[in-house]
Chain A
Amino acid sequence: DADVTQTPRNRITKTGKRIMLECSQTKGHDRMYWYRQDPGLGLRLIYYSFDVKDINKGEISDGYSVSRQAQAKFSLSLESAIPNQTALYFCATSDPTGTGAYEQFFGPGTRLTVL
């Protein structure tokens, strides 16, 4: 079974709708992240969380919110979806107690289309 899972894998919605993307992990990592990927722009950080009580904005948090329901679960919400939020969304985790390289482990992604 995958260590980092995301649901749904694909979603098509309409402008103005509220959307929730979910991420679960079995790696036991405290740190979790949400990114969006757009063609030619690489990955951009939306939100990150050190633990259940610690949530921080990334570089492009406007229009998004998150919830860390448990160590293993980190959800991303679009309160009122707009077309320029059409993108591929990735969840990731990391373990700060490892090698110190701060590598991250990614889920398979959610492809979101806002019409």
Chain B
Amino acid sequence: GNSVTQMEGPVTLSEEAFLTINCTYTATGYPSLFWYVQYPGEGLQLLLKATKADDKGSNKGFEATYRKETTSFHLEKGSVQVSDSAVYFCALSDQRYSSASKIIFGSGTRLSIRP
């Protein structure tokens, strides 16, 4: 079945460091891919998305490119800030359930940024 695998955390970086959080997926068809972010004490918020191969999603300095050949959607940011500390979830929309808009989530990666 469809699934999402993302790197385990926690990830701890210093402020202004480069960030990569790896995400790979298994899916039939052509899913849409997402990164959601969960700040402490809050619900999930959509960070960025990509709907087809080679699309690049970007928001708040974060980027991820939909790579069909490697089935990956890695999250990157060139210079992280303390305010980026959160849990990040990679996800895909399962097109087998297109009528249900079902989303499959990875297990989440906790990111902590030191001042």
Contact = CB atoms under 8 A, between A and B. Distances in A.
Contacts of A4: 43
B105 interface: yes
Give the contact-size bracket for chain B: 20 to 34
A50 interface: yes
Contacts, number: 60
B34 interface: yes
Contacts of B49: 101, 103
A31 interface: yes
A104 B51 contact: no
Interface in B92-113: 93, 98-103, 105-108
Interface residues of A, number: 25
Contact of A99 (B36, B51, B99, B108): B51
Interface of A: 4, 31, 40-43, 45, 48, 50, 56, 90, 92, 94, 96, 99-109
Interface of B: 32, 34, 36, 41-46, 49, 51, 89, 93, 98-103, 105-108
